[in-house]
Structure 1
């Protein structure tokens, strides 16, 4: 009789887990059910910015992401999980579906952090995480071609978002709290060079400033007020201020969390519940989260190995970007 594994999350890491498990499960020990919150099957989120080249969702789709030829995998999209019953080993979805499991894999990923700025929830304010986000940004940008667009956060993703606004026909401004762009990756000289390069592309850079408030005018313009006293009038604002692990389901069902967030696991990606594993950005391996896809893939392979009787452990990760 088949055992049942339920995967919560159908991002890049969740998809990799299913692929690896199915490749290695020669005797079909595990019947797999995947629950995805988004309407789209797994796609290449690392290449999200390339979506604006064609606005064709299929260009980002990961190979084999619908499992159409595999009777051992069932995929449910657009139906988020709303609860986990650890006692009865079931998960419940927003649509009312209840699924039982022998093993549960949490691949819920992360969410964009939005700083608590007054007015940050105004219409015209976005995050940069999904294809739906980019569609919404473009729809707003198209209403005000040539207007300013503001990105809060001068890290790598923030610069990607700013370039996306440029390609959508806006005049991008990047607001960074630290003294230089990509302050975790480059030194002072590198930051100066990077600023010159992006300025030559048409970006305006504001460093060593924070966003104090966002006010929406009657005509829809966003007035972005900075700590140096200046104001940027914009049609679009994008928050790119880091990510946080999506551990709310784990918290609600009583799993152990890491001190700084994420689902606490051992080196085998097992949580405080022997039947539940965590992989990808939500997994805090011995208390540490890894917000990159490569270590996420490693965790996916570890759990696939463990479910098939192996003893793989997390070896550490290269965090360079």
Structure 2
């Protein structure tokens, strides 16, 4: 339900920043993700048995209680600024007075031979983690490309799975940013 006397705000994206933005708007009273926002930094908890629901930043009820309409799994495909409309992949036209783009980032996959082979994963979504966990059950060793925060979280998760794990960082130190 959208309050009729408020400007209609559309937030494209529902990752950590998109969810935090919604929280801030609610506090002031004033997408393509397949699920509601979850904490990407804490994804390694998934491997220790933390249920997906416990990784979520909010519930569908939270959004509903605050008058926030969600379009989970429906990618924004066009923005018509002059008309104030976002069009979704399903063909829905969503009017707005203000628009926030909080679409998150994409994992960097270096152009290295072999990155498109079986057993090579990115560490970004809960679906990625499920694939890593399934593959990890038949593996002995793992290599993580990237020594940033998520790379080190991935390495910890792999160690917790009992895999001999190596981290390769292209910079001169871990956590370069």
TM-score using structure 1 length = 0.49
Larger radius of gyration: 1
1:133 lines up with 2:128 in the alignment: yes
Picking from 47, 53, 56, the partner of 1:52 is 47
CA distance in 1, matches of 2:82, 2:14: 25
Picking from 24, 47, 66, the partner of 2:28 is 24
1:52-201 equivalences in 2 (<5 Å)? 52-64=47-59, 66=61, 67-70=63-66, 72-142=67-137, 144-145=138-139, 147-179=140-172, 181-182=173-174, 184=176
Q: Deviations over 1:25-63 (max 9, x none)?
A: 36xxxxxxxxx3222211122211112221411111224
CA distance in 1, matches of 2:171, 2:84: 46
Picking from 4, 13, 20, the partner of 1:9 is 13
Which aligned runs of 4 or more in structure 1 are off by greater than 3 angstroms? 63-66
When the two chains are superposed, the root-mean-square deviation of aligned CA atoms in Å is 2.0
Q: Structure 1 or 2: larger strand share?
A: 1
CA distance in 2, matches of 1:108, 1:183: 23
Aligned residues: 172
* CA separation of 1:176 and 1:44: change in aligned 2, threshold 3 A: closer
Q: CA deviation at 1:176?
A: 2.6
Q: CA deviation at 1:170?
A: 2.0
Q: CA deviation at 1:116?
A: 0.9
Q: CA deviation at 1:134?
A: 0.7
TM-score using structure 2 length = 0.86
Q: Contact 2:39/2:56 (CA < 8 Å) preserved in 1?
A: yes
Higher relative contact order (CA 8 A, sep 6+): 2
What are structure 2's unaligned runs of at least 5 residues? none
Q: CA deviation at 1:178?
A: 3.7
Q: SS in structure 2 opposite 1:51?
A: helix
CA distance in 2, matches of 1:110, 1:183: 17
Q: SS in structure 1 opposite 2:64?
A: coil
What are structure 1's unaligned runs of at least 5 residues? 27-35, 186-321
